[in-house]
Structure 1
Amino acid sequence: MEIAKSIQEIRAQVAALKAEGKRVAFVPTMGALHEGHLSLIKMAHKHADAIVVSIYVNPEQFGPNEDFSTYPRTTESDLALCEKEDVAVVFLPDTETMYGSGKKFFSIEIEELNTYLDGGSRPGYFQGIALVVNKLFNIVQPDVAVFGQKDYQQFRIIEQMVIEFNHDIELLMAPIGRAEDGLALSSRNVYLSEQERVVAPSLYRALSYVEQQIKNGVFQPHLLLKHQQDELEAKGFKNDYLSVYSLDTLAPVQELEKGQRYVLAGAAYLGKTRLIDNLIFEI
């Protein structure tokens, strides 16, 4: 496994892989790798001959009061996991490499797709993600890139960015990796106390219950969603959002229609840990 820290290095290594006729898949991460990340790498292996993983905690997607300084950084164990998963190259840039130190004259703006869900709660969050992913795509120039469904809004925004910016990259969405009790795997789960970890799967159970009721014929789920939010708050959660959204526009949907696909998504704080989860379904 090769490690690249500069743009010149990663470009040379990817070019060498492509010169050998290999199809290159890219899995961008912020490190603190867990089984959810490894499932993305495993999917990438099914669609490509060589895998590139980036590890970079992107400051542009953290708000002023968020956990950039305390975000878990486990580079040594991350590299060991990548080697075990037969990753060809790990791109390990620093912020000087990604953004330079001079004045910036350009930014990325997003309309509509970041109005609700995490975009509504975390101003600037998806602009920061779009900026760094756009940079990474231009630097690595993979044939395919893999993202997880847990961050569905992120996937949808990147999908639109690929279309509008004409990136010649195939996007794949991997299913949500879950613990045995249903909790969506996340690097931030390490923040959960032992007691909070027991309660944390309640968000997934709330989503699953609402999904089942919708499939049983509840096509106006507003009261159902409100009841589940009340149940979560009684268990110690501080709700951010819990609703049904258009899979395409990410706008909230009040009345559901047969034959349509939706994303049922929720976010809530449990102690200091922000949990997100979603289910994609068709009626």
Structure 2
Amino acid sequence: MTGPVVCTTVAQLREEIGARVTRGARTVGLFPTMGALHDGHARIAQRTRAENDLAVVSVFVNPLQFGPGEDFESYPRDLDGDVARLAEVGVDLVFAPSVEQMYPDGTPVVSVTSGRAGSILEGATRPGHFDGALTVVNKLFTIAAPGPAAELRAYFGEKDAQQLLLMQRMVRDFDYPVEIRAVPIVRSEQGLALSSRNQYLSAEQADHALVLHRTLRALAAGELTLERARSAIDAEPEVRLDYFVTVDPGDLSLVEPGPGTLALVAAWVGPTRLIDNMRI
């Protein structure tokens, strides 16, 4: 099996995309990641491959998304393993730049700000996180732009619901010629939403983390109120709740649970912070 072409510079990726478009590719699928790929990522990569003439996956641990005391240095990195996994699903190009390649002058002077929608929920706990995510994806849209002869589609998982909304708003607000496609959450057999940070969990902590999915499901079924769902999470050993709310999925404003609303939860399980969500 021939693996994907690994591009490490902006110029190389643009050259590869341009050559494929010249040869007839009319749709380019872009899946931005920070690597440490798991089965959830593989599902999104499969969608990217199946729905486009050219499938591109970026693997870049973006320092702008990490705040003081967060795990940028220790964030798991395994480019060889990531490339092998992406080869299995037939991805064409992997973009794996260095920090210096993406930010040659250090922290960019001009960046994208996420506004009010990026300062609540995850943004309240991780100030600047979404500004960093939007800034790097803004760059990726520009780098991977195939020109007028082809269409660019970008793929994001629904697990990061707030990030997905902000990406959709950035495309709409800036009139980018990019279609955002959302991919449903992939879970373990027990229900835990797959995440690169799950590898930090011990077997016992992973069992405790199941309370997040369990309470989301109970809330969605009308078996628990929000207050009782929060209490159930607080009662679980090694789990410390950050927030459990229901929001309007269009703008993340807080609403009472009801049909069409989105339940969002974030909690620390031991030292590991996890998020999950479910549509009511």
Q: TM-score, normalized by length of structure 2?
A: 0.92
Secondary structure in structure 2 of the residue aligned to 1:268: strand
Map of 2:185 onto structure 1:
176
Q: From the superposition, tell whether residues 272 and 104 of structure 1 become closer, same or farther in structure 2 (CA, over 3 Å).
A: same
State yes or no: 1:16 paired with 2:19: yes
Residue number in structure 2 paired with 1:273: 272
Q: Distance in 2 between matches of 1:233 and 1:169?
A: 41
List aligned pairs for 1:209-228, cutoff 5 A: 209-213=218-222, 224-228=225-229
Alignment partner of 1:61 is 2:65: yes
Match of 1:217 in 2: none
Overall identity of the aligned pairs, in %? 37
Residues in 2 aligned to 1:139 and 1:121: alpha-carbon distance in whole angstroms: 30
In 2 relative to 1, CA 64–54 (structure 1 residues): closer, same or farther, beyond 3 Å? same
Report the alpha carbon displacement of residue 105 of structure 1 after superposing the two structures with TM. Answer: 2.7
- Tell whether 2:127 aligns with 1:123: yes
Is the 1:17–1:24 contact (alpha carbons within 8 Å) kept by the matching residues of 2?
no
Q: CA deviation at 1:45?
A: 2.3
- Note if contact 1:3-1:91 (Cα within 8 Å) is conserved in structure 2: yes
Specify which of 3, 6, 29 is matched with residue 3 of structure 1. 6
Q: For 2:143 and 2:230, how far apart are their aligned partners in 1?
A: 42
> What is residue 86 of structure 1 aligned with on the other side?
90
SS state at 1:213 partner? coil
The residue aligned with 1:248 is 250
Please, which moves more after superposition, 205-214 or 269-278? Answer: 205-214
Deviation at 1:46, TM superposition (A): 2.9
CA distance in 2, matches of 1:231, 1:97: 46
SS of the aligned residue for 1:269 comes to strand
Partner of 2:211: 202
Give secondary structure in 1 for the equivalent of 2:118.
coil
Q: Tell me if structure 2 keeps the 8 A contact 1:36–1:185.
A: yes
Instruction: Spell out, residue by residue over 1:75-122, the C-alpha distance to the aligned partner (whole angstroms, 9 max, x if none).
Output: 111011111111101001011111112574312222221232211211
Match among 97, 111, 115 for residue 111 of structure 1: 115
Equivalence for 1:232: 233
Q: Distance in 2 between matches of 1:204 and 1:17?
A: 42
**Of 4-13 and 93-102, the range deviating more from structure 2:** 93-102
Contact 2:243 2:267 in 1 (8 A): yes
Instruction: Quote the Cα distance in structure 2 between the aligned partners of 1:110 and 1:199.
Output: 33
C-alpha contact (below 8 Å) 2:119/2:127 kept by paired residues? no
Question: Distance in 2 between the 1:262 and 1:20 partners?
Answer: 45
5+ long unaligned stretches in structure 1 = 215-220
CA distance in 1, matches of 2:106, 2:230: 46
Equivalent position to 1:31, from 35, 41, 45: 35
8 Å Cα contact 2:100-2:106 kept in structure 1: no
TM-score of the pair, normalised by structure 1: 0.92
**AA aligned opposite 2:8:** K
Q: Supply the RMSD in Å over aligned alpha carbons.
A: 1.5
SS at 1:144 equivalent: strand
**Are 1:150 and 2:159 counterparts?**
yes
The answer on whether the counterparts of 1:192 and 1:273 sit within 8 Å (CA) in structure 2 is yes
Label 1:266 to 1:102 Cα distance change in 2 as closer, same or farther (>3 A).
Answer: closer
For residues 242 and 166 of structure 1, the distance between their equivalents in structure 2, rounded to whole angstroms, comes to: 33
CA shift, 1:255, in A, is: 6.3
Please say which of residues 246-255 and 9-18 is displaced more in the overlay. 246-255
